[in-house]
């Protein structure tokens, strides 16, 4: 037996494993999603997402300080509006919770990066991501609404806008709209590769964005496709996307890797609500070691090629990594 090569030598102790570790996970990799709602003095746990809450705008400054204190560099703001209509006009209303929360966060912690989610599903009365014509989401009619939403978020103080609607051509339209209003330094993090996934269920509870009819398969991607993902990423890069996202993360790490191999842009992944809720449920039943599973899962995303990890685990994971 030839045992000249003994890989176990480099696993012999914690110090040795730390020395040779290939992938390092850090709180600086995380973006923490938050949900803002109309009203005051509200902090209510989301039933399907234990440990995540709906916050009224008056609560977000304190939350932002806590997030920054954990070493997390960014938040993504989602919101429930005070009103809904057919075109989702509350999405670009400067008095809506998202715009007010962005301003409050930047006022409280200027160095914290704020990402605005640019979509219409939680703002429309029908729950779809754009303007409808005969139960069909009209791509081109939706683009001006997305531009107005992105510009309103930039005006509120967002550092990054993140179109998650999957309309064709929206990155180019948003880039042109931002530049025309003088927001040339506002970045676009495109949900370039967003699959029509079953992992979004708890989020739709959190954001009150379940479609009133049908589903989103006419505009979100088929989970069976990967070459299409490369096409979507290439199109969004050509249109001016600064960051390319793959969503969901865990069931699509092969896609993350393939996108990573063909782009020079930073790759973001969204560790979505269903992935989070499954871990929380298993941990609550004592079936898994939550800390170990979460850190292993997040490390797998970074190992696959993600530089940015949007995750509801961010606060806990940051504390565990800093312990």
Known binding site: residues? 119, 121, 129, 204, 216, 232, 273, 312
pLDDT bin (cut points 50, 70, 90) of residue 126 is confident
Predicted TM-score of the model (pTM) = 0.95
Contact by Cβ (8 Å): 82, 96: yes
Give per-residue pLDDT as tens, 153-174: 999 999 999 999 999 999 999 9
pLDDT bin (cut points 50, 70, 90) of residue 67 is very high
pLDDT bin (cut points 50, 70, 90) of residue 210 is low
- Tell whether the model's pLDDT for residue 124 goes beyond 80: yes
Query: What CATH architecture is 24-245?
Result: Alpha-Beta Barrel (3.20)
Task: Work out the angle at residue 69's Cα, subtended by the Cα atoms of residues 63 and 74, and round it to the nearest 5 degrees.
Answer: 70
pLDDT bin (cut points 50, 70, 90) of residue 38 is very high
Question: What pLDDT is attached to residue 214?
Answer: 55
- Tell whether the model's pLDDT for residue 204 goes beyond 70: no
Contact by Cβ (8 Å): 117, 32: no
Which positions ≥6 away from 21 have C-beta within 8 Å? none
Give per-residue pLDDT as tens, 234-283: 999 999 999 999 999 999 999 999 999 999 999 999 999 999 999 999 99
Mean pLDDT, all residues of the chain: 94
- Tell whether the model's pLDDT for residue 207 goes beyond 90: no
- Tell whether the model's pLDDT for residue 1 goes beyond 70: no
Question: What pLDDT is attached to residue 254?
Answer: 98
Numbers of helices and strands, H then E, in the chain:
11, 12
Distance CA(189)–CA(171), nearest Å, equals 9
Question: What pLDDT is attached to residue 13?
Answer: 96
Give per-residue pLDDT as tens, 79-105: 999 999 989 999 999 999 999 999 999
- Both tokens assigned to 260: 């990573």
Residue 14 to residues 17, 18, 20, 51, 316: CA-CA distances in angstroms? 5, 6, 10, 31, 22
- 54-57: long-range pairs with CB below 8 Å, 24+: 54/80, 54/206, 55/101, 56/97, 57/97, 57/100, 57/101, 57/104
* Helix H or strand E encompassing 237: helix 227-239
Known binding site for Mg(2+): residues? 232
The ranges assigned to domains in the chain are 24-245
- Both tokens assigned to 258: 């393939």
Catalytic residue set: 194, 247
């Amino acid at each position: 037996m030839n045992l000249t090569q003994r890989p176990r030598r480099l696993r012999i102790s914690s110090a040795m494993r730390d020395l040779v570790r290939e992938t390092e996970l850090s709180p600086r990799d995380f973006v923490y999603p938050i949900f803002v709602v109309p009203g005051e003095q509200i902090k209510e746990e989301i039933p399907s997402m234990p440990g995540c809450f709906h916050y009224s705008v008056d609560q977000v400054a304190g939350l932002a300080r806590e997030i920054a204190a954990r070493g997390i560099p960014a938040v993504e703001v989602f919101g429930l509006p005070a009103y809904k209509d057919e075109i989702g006009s509350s999405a670009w209303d400067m008095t809506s919770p998202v715009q007010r929360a962005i301003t409050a966060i930047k006022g409280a912690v200027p160095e914290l990066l704020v990402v605005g989610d640019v979509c219409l599903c939680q703002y429309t009365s029908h729950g779809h991501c754009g303007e409808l014509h005969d139960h069909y989401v009209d791509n081109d009619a939706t683009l001006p609404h997305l531009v107005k939403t992105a510009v309103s978020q930039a005006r509120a103080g967002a550092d990054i806008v993140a179109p998650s609607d999957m309309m064709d051509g929206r990155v180019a339209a948003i880039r042109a709209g931002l530049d025309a209003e003088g927001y040339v330094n506002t970045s676009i993090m495109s949900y370039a590769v967003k699959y029509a996934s079953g992992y979004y269920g708890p989020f739709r509870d959190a954001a009150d964005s379940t479609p009133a009819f049908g589903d989103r398969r006419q505009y979100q991607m088929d989970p069976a496709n990967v070459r299409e993902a490369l096409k979507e990423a290439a199109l969004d890069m050509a249109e001016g996307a600064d960051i390319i996202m793959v969503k969901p993360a865990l069931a699509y790490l092969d896609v993350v890797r393939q996108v990573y191999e063909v782009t020079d842009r930073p790759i973001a992944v969204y560790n979505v609500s269903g992935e989070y809720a499954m871990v929380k449920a298993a941990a609550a039943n004592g079936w898994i070691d939550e800390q170990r599973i979460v850190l292993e899962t997040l490390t797998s995303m970074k190992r696959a090629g993600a530089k940015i990890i949007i995750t509801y685990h961010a606060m806990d994971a940051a504390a565990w990594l800093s312990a």
